[in-house]
Amino acid sequence: MGSAIQNTNFKFDNLLKKYTGKVRDVYHFDQKLVMVVSDRISAFDVVLPRPIPFKGQILNQIAEKFLKLTENIVPNWIDSVPDPNVTIGKKCDTFPIEMVIRGYLTGHAWREYKEGKRMLCGVEMPDGMKEHDKFPIPIITPTTKAKVGHDIDISREDIISSGIVSKADYEKLENYTYQLYKKGTEYALSKNLLLVDTKYEFGKYKNNIILIDEIHTPDSSRYFYADTYQGLQDKDQDQRQLSKEFVRQWLIENGFQGKENQEVPLMSDEIVNSISKRYIELYENITGESFIKRKTENMMKDIESNIKIAL
């Protein structure tokens, strides 16, 4: 099993503060952010006890690829990627919502739908659908960004009426979200994949909206294989998917959904390795490139050194 990054505690000159997220450690400087993508994995908004080898490298490199592919749609926060696990970029004021867009009735949307709900974040879902069916048009189902615990579904109307985001800015976020999803679906299809659903995060830099964080990674997105999609739907069979959903399903099968008094099941070496292999599979499928594992000797020292050189 390869080495994995659980936590970082780097020391830098002029560091203002460090923020530890579910997966990322973010080092704040006056004008810049240094984002170190760890190998931690979360599900149901809980960080699981064991890191997944190469997961952080995979997320960082996929995000870099898609941020570059979409910079003609909306500018993004990246300045440089000095290390396979690190991105350095612009410090901005972030919008406190995530723009979730869904092309198919899957995951959280399906769990709500099968309980009889037909409204999700103020958006009506048609009757008569089954799991994984394609929506007539993609739907945007925003969530608030929780620092701790679960993100909360919220409607467009509530975001605007409560002043979380101004109407003018929200309309821009919606437009960018549709355009980014369209670009992502077109690219995915060229790799025999369907971009099922995903999320985008935005901020403001010098009064301009920019795309931040990661996009179209297995942590932020769900993919199906395109060539087998319709046949499996016709037979009412589960879809072949590349996403973190298989981790959620494993947890559900072992009695964990992030609810109070539930304990995370034991993660054996076999489970950890299988998750790592699935992340590598997604990387190679979505990028069309072979995954090159970073050398693991003195990995933390290498990361810290690469950051210091870039700064």
The pLDDT assigned to 48 comes to: 94
Band (248; pLDDT cuts 50, 70, 90)? confident
Domain extent, residue 170, equals: 94-243
Mean pLDDT across the stretch 179-190? 97
Band (242; pLDDT cuts 50, 70, 90)? confident
Q: Is the pLDDT of residue 240 over 80?
A: yes
pLDDT in tens, 86-105: 999 999 999 999 999 999 99
Question: What gap in Å lies between CA 57 and CA 280, rounded to an integer?
Answer: 10
pLDDT in tens, 130-174: 999 999 999 999 999 765 556 799 999 999 999 999 999 999 999
Q: Is the pLDDT of residue 296 over 80?
A: no
**Domain-embedded: residue 252:** no
**Domain-embedded: residue 20:** no
The pLDDT assigned to 2 comes to: 63
**Domain-embedded: residue 146:** yes
pLDDT averaged over the chain? 93
The pLDDT assigned to 150 comes to: 63
pLDDT in tens, 24-67: 999 999 999 999 999 999 988 899 999 999 999 999 999 999 99
Mean pLDDT across the stretch 211-240? 94
The pLDDT assigned to 1 comes to: 55
Q: Which residues contact 29 (CB under 8 A, 6 or more apart)?
A: 12, 14, 15, 16, 91, 311
Report the chain's terminal Cα–Cα distance, integer Å: 32
Mean pLDDT across the stretch 203-224? 94
The pLDDT assigned to 138 comes to: 98
Per the model's pLDDT, the better-predicted residue between 53 and 296 turns out to be 53
pLDDT in tens, 116-131: 999 999 999 999 999 9
Query: Number of folded domains in the chain?
Result: 1
Percent of the chain's residues with pLDDT above 70:
98
* Planar angle of CA 178, 182, 186, nearest 5 degrees: 170
CATH code of residue 115 = 3.30.470.20
